Structure 1
């Protein structure tokens, strides 16, 4: 238990996001990064939609509106999927990638 606590303290948020990209599952820092990326994407697309409406170009309004719809749908589906599956801990992802030394393997190395 103490090993898991020390692993949690030494992992930076950037390393946690990298682990979230490489290991199975999604951890908390990776999900927070994705939410902020979707927020910034939504803000920029909203600004583009406002500019398209002010230019009175109907094809541009339709195009950007469709992009906003795709972004919102993707975010809602991703949120729903993560609500169904749940988040994984950073420690589990590190174990999946064999980044945490096992206590049993260290004793086996000392015997040989």
Structure 2
């Protein structure tokens, strides 16, 4: 059920709107998940290197980073589950980028 405004907005512009406007839109949430995925890959590589060096302090430090990032991801998921996603057209209307005529026209279609 994507509106014509949603189809005309590029992913980069949608992520920028998600960063500047209140709420989280779909492309911004996808980018956050991709960022956490790459963070997980990097932390897994760091953990493997820490285990190979047998440095106990480094292992604890990297495990602490893994726990912190895991808690952050869980908290973001819970927050988004309670607030929900915002459509791109709502964010554009809030910022004054899209006119009310464009929004009403997209709702009629």
TM-score normalised per structure 1: 0.86
2:3 corresponds to: 5
2:84 corresponds to: 86
Alignment of 1:1-112 (within 5 A): 5-103=3-101
* CA positional deviation for 1:7: 1.2
Alpha-carbon distance in 2 for matches of 1:95, 1:101: 7
* CA positional deviation for 1:6: 2.5
Question: What residue ranges of structure 1 are gaps of 5+ in the alignment?
Answer: 104-112
Q: Could you list the per-position Cα deviations for residues 33-88 of structure 1 after superposition, in whole angstroms to 9, with x for gaps in the alignment?
A: 00000000011001100110111000000000100000000001000110011000
- Greater Cα radius of gyration, structure 1 or 2: 1
Higher relative contact order (CA 8 A, sep 6+): 2
TM-score normalised per structure 2: 0.88
